[in-house]
Structures are given as C-alpha cells and as structure tokens.
Amino acid sequence: MSQLELHKAAVAMVKHRGNFVMTKAMQKILNTTYDSGGVLDSALKHYAKANLPLVKPLFPTLMSLSYEAATGSTQKNGETDSVALAMLFIAFSADVHDDVVDCSDVKYGKRTVCGRFGSEVALLVGDVLLVQGYTLLHSACENLLPKQKQEIFGLTLKAVFEMSSAQALERKLTKKTRIDPDEYFEIMRLKGVVAELQCRVGGIIGQADDATLEVLTSFGRTVGMLGTIHDEFNDMLDTSELQHRIKFECPPLPMVYAVQDKKIKTAVENFVKNPSAVSSKVMTKKIAKLVLESKDVYNLKQKINEQTVNPKLNALLTKNGRVGHDVSLLLNLLTSNK
C-alpha cells in the first residue's frame, strides 16, 4: 500500500473503533441541560457542534485495541464503551482548559469556547465536563470488580495530575529565551499519560495479567507521545497555528530542535522579531520549510521512529492478527510526519 492508502486505512480504522463512543459523547452534551438554556448550555453546545467533529476518536480506539489484545477477542457488548465515554469527558475538560491557558481563540479554523465565550466561561465549561466525566466514570465502574474499580479511579486521578504537571512545565518554558530540546521532548512524553491511561484501563477491563498490562501501558505512553509530537509537526504546517504558537506559546517541537543550528537560529530569531513577517503567510511558510528540512529535525524524526520499537508488544500482537494490523496502521499514521 502507498503512504496515502495507509493513511486512509488508519483513519478509517480509528473511526471504526472509536466513532460510536465519540458520537455518544457528542449526543450526551447536546441532550444535557446544564443551565436551562443559559450561557453554559450555549457554550457546551458550541463545543460539541464546532470543536468535537474535528477530534479523532483516538482514546476509545486505544481502549478497544487494548481490551482486544488482553482478551484475544472482540467486544460483543461494548464492554469498554461506558468507561471510554467517561474518559472522553475528562479529556474534553482538559482540552477546553488548555485553550484558556494557551489563549487559543481559534483551532483548525473553528472558534473555541474560549474564543467565542471568553476565558471565564471556558473555565466553567471545563469544570462542568470534568465533573460530568467523573460522574459517568463512577456509574461505568459499578459492574466491575472492586479491585478494577479502585485501580481505574486511582489511575485516572494520577493521569489528571501528570497532565496538569506537563502543562505547567510547558507554560514555564514559554518564559525562557532558550528551550532545551530534551526538556521539551520530556514534556511530550509526559503528555502521553492520557493515552497510556486508555490502554491500561482497556487491559484492566479485559482482566489482563500483569505482564500484558505493562506492555499495554508502555504502548499507550508511546502512542500518546507520538500523537502529541505529530500535532507539533502539523502546527509547523498550519500557518495560523504556527503564528499563534510563536506569539503565545512555546514554538513547535521541530523548531526547538532546528534552532540548534546557528544559521537557522538566526533566521528564526529575525522572523520572530519582525511582526510583519510573523503575520505574513508567505514568510511563515518559508520559515516552516527551513525548519522541517533541517538536519536536526531529520535526527528528531529518527528519534521518534525509534520509539515504536517494542519487541514485547510485537510478541503480544502476533497472538491477535487483527489487533496487530490495526496497531501497525496507527503507529504508521502517527510517525508519518510531512
């Protein structure tokens, strides 16, 4: 298969495995009355209609894959669906809060809750989604074994703490004149905790043994990190996102690596210091091309590809051809940076 065909197959697989839960989450937001037609209702409906359609259902897909890897069979009655739904609401909460922290008024051409309703309302929307997520999680775990329930709640709390810590570290980096590439790469790894959570929980529901759980956990962290880095590359190619990152956030990871080259560093510094250049799509595309074609970014891509090497995961996947095939598609999708 060509790279384009592999890309399409991976996207189709993610939709096939995760769209049901994602659609259910969107419908739940749209069908819930939060403040009787007030601003919270309007803001949450906007989020469901404008922002969620742009989100790939990766998290429920990971839980589905892990459950299947643990049990050796496909789900017959949506065994992970209710827990995956709850996890989505918790992830939605982090997404809305993240837009406030990053001053993101627009994402992928759509107004965010923060951009349309303001940061105060966006914070409240994020809080509502978080509480709703934990409420759903409590209900979803009722039919699980006490040990499973206890572990899932503990892991979820830990993941929220670690993700918050990663965000705090990233904000700290925005104040530095020089960002250490390895330090920023570590933040990418920390952000992988949410995907790691999905995989471990899928294994727990599937009653995987300890060895299998560790393999699934490692796989989840890798996928989460790769997904975050994939977005960093995409931000280099999206003019509006790159401009926003330069003005309000840390620059994308590829740029942090590329400026290790003195010539590229000078070019980037001159670009950043010139408001008219940052506002120019032509100049932004030129600097993105310079960064992405640099030797340091080439080495970064090699480092990223090395993260997918996991003999224990390969051994587990050979027992289930369908899961192995789908995991290969997913890893290809996340490492095929333009």
Do 156 and 141 meet the contact criterion of CB atoms below 8 Å apart? no
Which of these ranges, 22-26, 83-87, 158-162, 282-286, has the smallest mean pLDDT?
Answer: 282-286
pLDDT at 173 over 60: yes
SS3 of residue 215 by DSSP: helix
DSSP-assigned states of every residue in 157-184: HHHHHHHHHHHHHHHHHTT-SS--HHHH
pLDDT at residue 108, rounded to an integer: 82
SS3 of residue 110 by DSSP: strand
Mean pLDDT of 274-293: 91
Give dist(CA 159, CA 194) in Å, integer.
6
pLDDT at 336 over 70: yes
Do 253 and 184 meet the contact criterion of CB atoms below 8 Å apart? yes
Give dist(CA 85, CA 116) in Å, integer.
26
Do 34 and 128 meet the contact criterion of CB atoms below 8 Å apart? yes
Over residues 112-122, the pLDDT tens digits come to 999 999 999 99
Pull the structure tokens for residue 77: 């009655």
Q: Which distant-in-sequence residues (6+ apart) come within 8 Å of 182 by Cβ?
A: none
Cα distance between the two ends of the chain: 18
Which of these ranges, 8-17, 130-139, 150-159, 271-280, has the smallest mean pLDDT?
Answer: 271-280
Residue 331's alpha-carbon distances to 158, 172, 191, 311, 318, in angstroms, are 25, 30, 17, 14, 16
Give dist(CA 96, CA 157) in Å, integer.
18
Instruction: Show me where the domains of the chain are located.
Output: 3-335
Q: For the domain with range 3-335, which CATH number is right: 3.30.2000.10, 1.10.600.10, 3.90.1170.20, 3.40.50.300?
A: 1.10.600.10
Over residues 22-74, the pLDDT tens digits come to 999 999 999 999 999 899 999 999 999 999 999 999 999 999 999 999 998 88
pLDDT at 209 over 80: yes
Give dist(CA 275, CA 280) in Å, integer.
9
Pull the structure tokens for residue 280: 């120019």
Do 213 and 147 meet the contact criterion of CB atoms below 8 Å apart? no
pLDDT at 278 over 90: no
pLDDT at residue 62, rounded to an integer: 97
52: which DSSP letter? G
Give dist(CA 21, CA 27) in Å, integer.
10
Antiparallel, parallel or unpaired: β 106-107 and 110-111:
antiparallel
pLDDT at residue 338, rounded to an integer: 47
Give dist(CA 315, CA 140) in Å, integer.
31
Over residues 243-257, the pLDDT tens digits come to 889 888 899 999 999
Partners of 107 in beta bridges = 110
| Closest-CA residue to 59 (of 252, 223, 285) | 223
The amino acid occupying position 121 is: V
Beta strands in the chain (DSSP E): 106-107, 110-111
Greater pLDDT, 80 or 274: 80
Mean pLDDT of 148-158: 97
Give dist(CA 316, CA 262) in Å, integer.
45
Give dist(CA 282, CA 98) in Å, integer.
29
